[in-house]
Amino acid sequence: MNNDRALGTVDHLVESIVALNPRADRSWLVTFDCYDLGRYLQHLECAGEPRESATPWRRLGDTSAIVCRTAA
């Protein structure tokens, strides 16, 4: 299955992310693929909902809980 069709295009996902997080840098966001952008968008959407046991955000487990990136 093509991730672009399943999750939307990079441009669509970036627009949706920026709508929820206006301080997000578009030029940085477009460096990610649709899968990662879709996961981030889902996280933002869940974070905007009231905290209830029925609507938790769960890490998928394909990354470690603590991630570090080194600046270039």
Q: Are 16 and 24 in contact (CB under 8 A)?
A: no
Type of residue found at 51 = R
Are 10 and 38 in contact, with CB atoms under 8 Å apart?
Answer: no
Q: For residue 41, give Cα distances in angstroms to 36, 71, 72.
A: 9, 23, 25
**Residue 32 belongs to what domain range?**
1-72
For 56-71, write each residue's pLDDT tens digit.
Answer: 666 677 766 676 777 7
Mean pLDDT of 14-30: 94
70 token code pair: 């080194």
Residue 6 clears pLDDT 60, i.e. is over it: no
Domain count, the chain: 1
